[in-house]
Structures are given as structure tokens and as C-alpha cells.
Structure 1
């Protein structure tokens, strides 16, 4: 079960909400909208995973709405009385926290929805990415530079467009690892994409503003490596 305090704290952090009450209300609205798009068994699973204050929001008896993610975002925007761009960020915040805190549930939800919904389970951009010294955009690395850096990071693979690493950990270490990576990403002001599969967690790094690998991605890769080493050995980083 996802803990109420943890859920609201993380949503508040990712969505830049200043009040816990705002975060709790946002969670209920997004969970209700999500439940309307799930079949009955998956609705029940979502409801069982939610903490008490949010559990009733996942209750729905109407037939599932077979629409696109845009329909969910429109519903969230309408019920929260917020612009759709803001609703997009809030929805990403709620669904990514649920997926991070309960990876098995997150995987089941993604598999139970149309593929177009998968992107909503990634964390929203926490803040603008770091710029190069010139101040205009991060500087992409060349293929040769990336190859050189990958030799120093044997757990990673990729090219000048993106870096990836798949980490296999016991189930009870997955959530601590994702929490630490999210903390590091906020500190570095950098985006990290991840997917959870039967083989573990796959992290993908790229600097979106230039659609390429930059020094910021390498720094984030090093943070992920440190988190894996600490969490995998049973430690508690940070």
C-alpha cells in the first residue's frame, strides 16, 4: 500500500504545491479520473493500494472510458479548475509517484491502459535544465566524447543521443533507489526517465532541450551509480 504522507509529500514536491491539502486534493482528483479509465479488476487493485484518505477516490462503477490521455487531462483540469498545462504537470506528478512507490501497481496500470498513457507515469520536469556557459543551451557531446565517457562507466550504454542502464535489485530495494534518484534529479535540476520491467529498472538519460547527451547527463549517471551501490548493499543514501 502507498503511504498517505509519502504520497502527498512527493506529489507536492514534484508538482511544486505549497500545501499538503492541495496535494491530497490533487491526488484524489487524478486517481478518480484514472479509475474511470480502468476495467473493474484494475480499479479494485488501485483502490486497495491507495491509503485511506484517497481510497474512495478510486471507487467507480461506471463502464471504463476508452478515451485518450487528453480526456484524462481535460477532466483533471476541469475538476481542479486549473489550466490544462498545469493539469498535465499535476497528473504526471501523481501517477509517477504511484508508479515509483508501488512498481508492480505502476506496471499493471500501464499495461491495462492504452500505450499512449505510459508517458503520464513519468515524473514532470522538476525545473529548467542547466545551461552551458554560453547561456543559450546545454552543449551536446560528440560520439567520440560519449564513447570515452562510457568507458569510464561500464554499466552504461548508449550514444550521443541517450544513455541507458538497467539495474536488477530485490523488490524491496526498488522504491528506495527510485526515491534517491528522484532526490538527486531535483538537486541537479535534471530529468531522469525510467521504466520498470521484469528485468529491473532501466534508466534513460538525455537532455531534452537539445535531444542529445550533455555533461549534465553524465553527472546524473554518476549519481545513479552511487545510489545503486548504496541501496543495493542495503544502505540508505542521502
Structure 2
């Protein structure tokens, strides 16, 4: 398991975020968005793989998932494309572009699955195929990602 400090430093460095506080917020946004798309067993696997500091974000995602299930949302998260909806959930709070949100999501996912191929395989299997780009190592940082 990656440590909280290492995860935040990696995200801050790779995404060229202004500070570790911004990186911590990005990690939480991505994990909450990802968690809200997982069923309880897969969410638990993710919870076991992330540092304790990040686990609150997974609970936020779980609550969002449960609320949508209670409402009977046919297209959860407001989009026909599940990846677009996840990226919107990441982008909206920080006023990022979809490209910046994808870069942040790829960075977080690549850091938490590095060295844990079981977690990566589990998440890939639990999510629709449309989420495949999340498991690609991020390329060059899109312009303006230093929010």
C-alpha cells in the first residue's frame, strides 16, 4: 500500500499541482468518484489498498452510490457515457477541463494500483469497459492543470 504522503507527493509532482493540499483534494475527488461506481465488495478492496487518510473519500462515494440506487437513477451521475460522468465529478469542484480531470484520475489510479496488479484487475473487472483509459499511465500534463 502506498503511503498517504507518497501518494500526495506523487500526484502533486506528476500533475504539477501548486501544493500538496491541492493534490490531496484531487486524490479525494478521484477516489470518491471511483468509489461511487463500485459495488461494496470492490469498494472494500479499494479501501484496503488506499492509505487510511483516503478512506473517507470512499465513504463519500459509497453514500453517493446508495443515494442514486434509492432514487432509481437509470443513468447514474447524469451521463450516458460513464467515463464522462466520472470525469465531470472530478472536474466540477475544481473547475478543470475533462482532459485535466482524466489526467488527474489516471495519475491517482496509476499510483494506487502500482505494484498491486490484483487491485487493477479487480477494478477493471468491476467497471464498464469505458473506464479503460483510467488504467493508462498518464501522458504529458494537459495545459492549466495546476489548479
Higher RCO structure (Cα 8 Å, ≥6 apart)? 2
Instruction: Compare the two structures and name the one with the higher helix fraction.
Output: 2
Segments of 4+ moved more than 6 angstroms = none
1:16 corresponding residue in structure 2: 16
- Which of 127, 143, 147 pairs up with 1:113? 127
Between the aligned partners of 1:102 and 1:24, the Cα distance in structure 2 is 21
Structure 2 unaligned residues grouped into runs of 5+: 143-147
Among candidates 82, 87, 95, match of residue 81 of structure 1: 95
Q: Paired residues, what number?
A: 128
- 1:89 alignment partner, SS class: helix
Corresponding residue for 2:84? 70
Change (3 A) 1:18 1:86: same
- The whole-number CA distance in structure 1 between the counterparts of 2:21 and 2:120 is 24
RMSD: 2.1
Larger Rg: 1
Contiguous gaps of at least 5 residues in structure 1: 129-238
Q: Deviations over 1:112-164 (max 9, x none)?
A: 11112121111211369xxxxxxxxxxxxxxxxxxxxxxxxxxxxxxxxxxxx
Q: CA deviation at 1:58?
A: 0.8
Q: TM-score, normalised by structure 2?
A: 0.77
Deviation, 1:17, is 1.5
- TM-score normalized by structure 1? 0.49
Aligned pairs for 1:1-238 within 5 A: 1-59=1-59, 60-61=62-63, 62=66, 63=69, 65=76, 68-126=82-140
